Structure formats: C-alpha cells, structure tokens
Amino acid sequence: MNTTVNINLANTFFYIDEEAYKKLKNYLKAIKKSFESEEGCEEIMADIEARISELFTEKLKHERQVIGLLEVNEIIVIMGQPEDYVWEEASKKSKTNNSDSNSQKDKKLFRDGDDVYIGGVVSGIGHYLGIEPQWARLIALLLFLLSAGSFMIIYILLWIFIPEAKTTSEKLSMRGKSINISNIEQKIKEGLDDVTERVKNVDYEKVSGRFQSSVRSFFNGVGSLLLLFVRGVKNIIGAVFIIASCVILVELFIGFFSAGTLGFVSTHWFEFAEKTQTPFWLLSLAGFLCIGIPFFFPLFGGI
Amino acid sequence: MNIENTKAQMRKGVLEYCILSIIKKQNQYTSEILSTLKQGKMLVVEGTVYPLLTRLKNSELLSYHWEESTSGPPRKYYSITKKGVETLKELDQSWNDLHRAVTHITQSKKQTK
C-alpha cells in the first residue's frame, strides 16, 4: 500500500504515487536548474509541465488510475535528461567546466543545513576546511569543554553570521564542488534536497520547541533536567548523552561566570545574580542560549 | 570524442531550421511539432525543443496564440513571423550550401579511394 499525492500539473489533476511524485519533482527541479538564468525560464517550465501533463493523460487508461514510478520513468525517457535541455550553451559550458575545476578552491563558508546537530556551524566549517563533520564535531566538543563557555558565545555568533546553505548551488560551493548541471542533478538525485531536509526541519522544530519549554521550566530548578533524564533513560545512548550534557552544563556555569569578566554582561547583573540567587530575564536569556543548546545532545540521543 | 555527442550536435545544428520550416508550412501546437520532428527522426528526446521554442519566440521569429481544444487544456499554437520567414530563407540558403559542400567533400573522397 502506498500513499498517493494529488498534483495539479498545467491545470490538470492527477493522482500520483508518493515515490513517483518525489522523482517527478526532482526531475522538474533539475530541469529548471539547467536554464534557470535564461530569459523566459518560467514559460519554458510551463510548456514542459503542459507537455508532461499531456503525456500522462495519454498514458492513463482511466481517470482514477494512479501515476507510478513506471510512468514517470517513461516520461523522463521521452523528455530527456536535464543535460538534453541545454541548447547552444552546452559547448560553452563544457569549456568553462575545465576552468571550473580550479574553482574547487573557491569554497564558501556556509552552515550545513543537512548535517545538523545544533546549527550546522561545525559541519559547515568542517566542509570549508575539508574535515569530516564527525571529526570537526569532536574537535568542537573538546573546544566546548576546554574553553569554558566562551566557545559557546563564538558558536552563537557564528550561527548568526554564517548563512545557511539553502540552494543547491550554495550547497555545492560549500563543499567546494563546481556548480554545473551534472553536479546539481547528482545532488538532487542524492535526495539531499527538500524531502529529507523537511523531515529534518520538522525534527528540529520539535526539538527546539521542547528545549524552549525545558528552559522555561529551568526556573523551577533542576526538575527539567530530571525530566530529561527520565526521558533519556529509554536507551543507554541517550543516557550517555545526557551525562555528557551535564558535564557540559557544569562547564557552562563556569563559562557563565567568566562571561562577567569578559565583559559580555555587566558586573551589576553579575553581583545581583550572585546575591539574590534568583535569575531574572537576562539570566534566563543567557541560560536559554548557553544551557538550552547542549540539551540538543540528550534530546537527539533520547529521540 | 563521443560519437553520440557528435550526432546529437549535428541534429541540434539544424533543429531550429527544421522547426521554422515545420511551422511555416502550417501553424502547429507544441505536440504536433514534436511528433513531426520525431517522425523525421530529428529528435531523440523532447526536452531540447522547449527552451528552443521559447528562444525563437523571444527573438521574434515565432509568435503564438492559445487555442481551446476539445480534449484537454488549451494548446499553444505557434506561427511564424515576418522576421521568421526572412531568417528561414537565410537558413534555407545556408543549408543548401552546407549540403552541397558536404556532398562535394564526401563524394570526392570516394573518388580518391
């Protein structure tokens, strides 16, 4: 049993299998990329969609038939690969491709939205420096622990200032690959785009929602931590992550205090917070940023 | 050097010429143009044609209008413009020249053999 999707292709209504829908969508996207810069791109796409719609109509035997992968593949055979859509630029591009190989050095720094634990900063920097994200993360984790929290502030600043690689061309330049159609197409084929991204975004929203609420309950003391702990116990890995995050938490408290001496926060606040022992909004904000973020680790582990 | 690529390039080189000739004979909508081209084995995949039609239209060699169809959505009918007819004449000329030149070369080769 498969899920079907309803699509409107050139004002015609179709039932399409979910897998087939993904394929068709990626195909159309890859085609669009191949003449995106051209004048009348929208019009060309409209023509192509109209034709595909016409071909589907011809192929369907009755109105309620669902379009499957088979039909989509047939359409692609008829319509051709994205490369076939490129006209006279083809020869020019193959020439520029050679020079593009030099542009491998022209990497740009982006956050990696596909490979995220927190903000994709570390994996982005990893791509930039040519380090595997796992190793980059390990180094970052060590820095987290050793720098006593100041790394956290740097991280947050980087999070704010480094743009996320959203478009396929940005993703390719992040990895230092030259931007040409076959690369873009390959990228799309890899399915790193849209669908998986959206799935991850959903998780991300879920997680960020949860950790926001956990920061709110921070006022109630360590209750939230226990709550998270209980959640995390569901599996051992989750628990390990939580212990790790607790260690980070302690480190962060030190970082918190050093933040006063670093001048990020006024000393009045620092004294006040020490005397009263009750955090107010500034502390809650700082707490939100500094303490909430490591909660990603137990949460990701726990989920 | 890829032989398939060379073949494709050859076809592509005269594709604009063919499209203009087809439309000059009779106003046609996209699918008809495609089937005519396919019958003449000028096309392997349809994809190439769409950007080309739009480009010809944008350079004012073709114009189009929408026509209602009984069996589906409205169709885009292409017709050739004055400028298109002039261009076609030029292309006719250069095709004839090319054909002559190629025939001359290929046949003279046979004789030397």
The region that residue B43 occupies, defined by phi over 0 for left and psi between -120 and 50 for alpha, beta otherwise, is beta
Q: Could you give the CA distance from residue A154 to residue A141 in angstroms, rounded to a whole number? A: 13
Distances (CA, A) of A154 to A118, A134, B32: 14, 20, 62
Q: Quick check: B12 and A87 in contact, CB under 8 A?
A: yes
- Ordered structural domains, chain B, with CATH: 3-106 (1.10.10.10)
Residues of chain A with pLDDT under 70: 87-107, 148-149, 177-303
The alpha carbon of residue A131 is apart from the nearest alpha carbon of chain B, in Å, by 37
Cβ within 8 Å, pair B48-A87: yes
Instruction: Give residue B8's pLDDT.
Output: 76
Q: What ipTM describes this predicted complex?
A: 0.80
Instruction: Give residue A96's pLDDT.
Output: 40
Q: Could you give the CA distance from residue A111 to residue A174 in angstroms, rounded to a whole number? A: 8
- Measure the N-to-C terminal CA separation of chain B; round to a whole number of Å: 26
Cβ within 8 Å, pair A84-B12: no
Among candidate residues A201, A224, A219, A194, the one with its CA nearest the CA of residue A298: A224
Instruction: Give residue B88's pLDDT.
Output: 92
Query: pLDDT by residue (tens digit) across A56-74?
Result: 888 888 878 888 888 899 8
A19-23, B5-9, B55-59: which range is least confident on average?
B5-9
Q: Quick check: A188 and A26 in contact, CB under 8 A?
A: yes
Q: Quick check: B80 and B62 in contact, CB under 8 A?
A: yes
Cβ within 8 Å, pair B54-A40: yes
Helices (H), chain B: 3-25, 30-39, 49-58, 82-112
Instruction: Give residue A211's pLDDT.
Output: 60
Instruction: Give residue B12's pLDDT.
Output: 78
**Three-class SS state of A59:** helix
Q: Could you give the CA distance from residue A276 to residue A268 in angstroms, rounded to a whole number? A: 12
* A74: contact with B, CB 8 A cutoff: no
Nearest to A78 among B45, B53, B72 (CB): B45
Instruction: Give residue A112's pLDDT.
Output: 78
**Three-class SS state of B53:** helix
Query: Which residue of B11, B35, B44, B46 is the best one to mutate when testing the A interface, meaning the one whose CB has the most A CBs within 10 A?
Result: B46
The region that residue A221 occupies, defined by phi over 0 for left and psi between -120 and 50 for alpha, beta otherwise, is left
Higher pLDDT, B10 or B92: B92
HSE (side-chain half, CA atoms, 13 Å) at B9: 11
Instruction: Give residue B89's pLDDT.
Output: 93
Q: Rg of the Cα trace of chain B?
A: 17
Mark out chain B residues that contact chain A at CB-CB < 8 A: 9, 12, 30-31, 34, 44-48, 50-55, 57-58, 72-73, 76
What is the pLDDT averaged over residues B4-31? 85
- Measure the N-to-C terminal CA separation of chain A; round to a whole number of Å: 27
| Predicted TM-score of the model (pTM) | 0.48
Query: pLDDT by residue (tens digit) across A21-35?
Result: 999 999 998 888 877
For chain A, how are helix, strand and coil distributed in percent, rounded to 5?
A: 70, 5, 25
Q: Could you give the CA distance from residue A171 to residue A96 in angstroms, rounded to a whole number? A: 20
Question: Given a cut of 90, is residue B93 above it in pLDDT?
Answer: yes
Rounded to the nearest 10°, the torsion over CA A18, A112, A34, A16 is 10
Q: Quick check: A50 and A185 in contact, CB under 8 A?
A: no
Average pLDDT over all residues of chain B: 85
Structure tokens at A258: 């050093």
b/e map A102-126, b = 16+ CB within 10 Å: eeeeebbbbbbbbbbbbbbbbbbbb
Cβ within 8 Å, pair B45-A84: yes
DSSP A190-214: TTTTHHHHHHHHHHHHHHHHHHHHH
Among candidate residues B78, B50, B75, the one with its CA nearest the CA of residue A31: B50
Question: Given a cut of 50, is residue B45 above it in pLDDT?
Answer: yes
Instruction: Give residue B100's pLDDT.
Output: 93
What is the pLDDT averaged over residues B81-90? 92
